[in-house]
Structure 1
Amino acid sequence: MYDLPYHKAPNEQAIKELIEKYPFAFLAGCDPANKPVATQVPLFLEERDGRKFLTGHLMKNTDHHKAFQHNNQVLAVFTGNHTYVSGAWYSDPHTASTWNYMSVHARGAIRFLDGAALEEMLRKTSMHFENNDPDSPTVYDNLPKSFLDKVMKAIVAFEIEVTEMDNVFKLSQDRDEKSYHNIIGKLKNQGEDGKVIATEMEKQAKNLYPGK
């Protein structure tokens, strides 16, 4: 990954917040022929006894399910808003343009779970994304048994014990103060991605330029 010491999250809480805000992760691994496989699934970050776990569910008998059964080493990538940053916005504009973005890479071993864990995972997932509304017709406990009996056979819950977690919060931290604040001003006039990145940059400004 793009790994420079000044392009990092300011603290662990920022990493957790990104995962919670953008849970639809890119989950990748390799099959028996060393062919890359991937899927996108919502994941939850949990901590137990000082260890980090990612939990979720996926469809059985797909290429990625079969690959993960063969090789339990996986990579989950969470990515947030991102935006183009023009070199013309720097105090010295005669330089290359770039891209600002936030991303978390979590590596670990995947383990598939039993039926009881699948029920709990579907209950947790449906309640979370239905804004904890117990009356929603689509939350797990309100679905017809006939429907659940059918779909439960086709999916499986899993957990990933995270062994390594890296991040890139590339937010122009290597720029001079004038350029940094000018980038923020330009991004505020862009679309949603630009505005979100500008807000993240503002959060870091006081640490990058203390006393200013």
Structure 2
Amino acid sequence: MYQPPQFKSEDRAIAAELMRAHSFASLVSVDDGGLPYVTHLPLHLRERDDRFVLLGHCARPNPHWRYLQARPTALVTFLGPHAYQSPKIYADRQRVPSWNYLAVHCTVQARLLEAPEQKEVVLKSLIGDHEAAYAEQWASLDEAFRLSMLAGIMAFELDVVRWECKLKLNQHRPESHARLRAAYAEGNADERALAEWMQRLGLKGLEGN
């Protein structure tokens, strides 16, 4: 990921927060033809011995797990809130539009989890993230049905060997911050989230000091 120094974050807690809050990720591998192959999927984040570990699964007919088996190194991307940036935030007219966003990229080493009990751990982790109350219903299902559902997926553990976090919020243009934050605060959900991140990171601008 292109990382100008003004946007680069090395704050592990922020990276983890973004991965949990925006857990619908893109898993990118290389297919047998040498081209990128992408699966969009929810991932569960764990922190283990100061490392990030991601748990997930795909449908068994999806060839992605075979690509992970053949070439375990892959990329996972998480995209947080993002929004258009109008040049109207500047006082002068010699400006151009841009786009602001928060993102985390992880280089991972994949390990397939084929045993039913391993898959069950992954499913329960994801259920806990998104609908904890469903765990009781899942446990009450007929065992043969649950096993058939587990047989239809391939689970995996993705060990994060490197991560990058980018917070692109026009940090290098403090003269824009007050107007940008005010505009985002009146916008859609993503824009309001970016306004909150600007406030959190202290991007108040020259007018906001």
Aligned match of 1:186 in 175, 183, 189? 183
Q: Distance in 2 between the 1:142 and 1:8 partners?
A: 46
Gaps of 5+ in 2: none
Q: Distance in 1 between the 2:18 and 2:49 partners?
A: 22
Match status 1:102 vs 2:99: no
Aligned residue identity for 1:2: Y
Native 8 Å contact 1:27 1:74 kept in 2: yes
TM-score for both structures, normalised by structure 1: 0.89
Tell me what 1:159 maps to: 157
Q: How many residues are aligned here? A: 207
Gaps of 5+ in 1: none
Tell me what 1:201 maps to: 198
Match status 1:126 vs 2:127: yes
SS in 1 for 2:196: helix
Moved more, 5-14 or 166-175: 5-14
Native 8 Å contact 2:25 2:41 kept in 1: yes
Cα 1:73–1:10, aligned 2, differ >3 Å: closer, same or farther? closer
SS in 2 for 1:2: coil
Cα 1:207–1:163, aligned 2, differ >3 Å: closer, same or farther? farther
1:62-90 per-position Cα deviation (integer Å, ceiling 9, x unaligned): 22122212111111000111100011212
Match status 1:15 vs 2:12: no
SS in 1 for 2:18: helix
Cα 1:25–1:191, aligned 2, differ >3 Å: closer, same or farther? same
Identity %: 28
Q: Distance in 1 between the 2:93 and 2:185 partners?
A: 19
Q: Distance in 1 between the 2:200 and 2:61 partners?
A: 44
Aligned residue identity for 2:156: F
1:102-127 per-position Cα deviation (integer Å, ceiling 9, x unaligned): 00000111110132211111122223
SS in 2 for 1:34: coil
1:29-57 per-position Cα deviation (integer Å, ceiling 9, x unaligned): 00222021110111122222232211111
Native 8 Å contact 2:9 2:166 kept in 1: yes
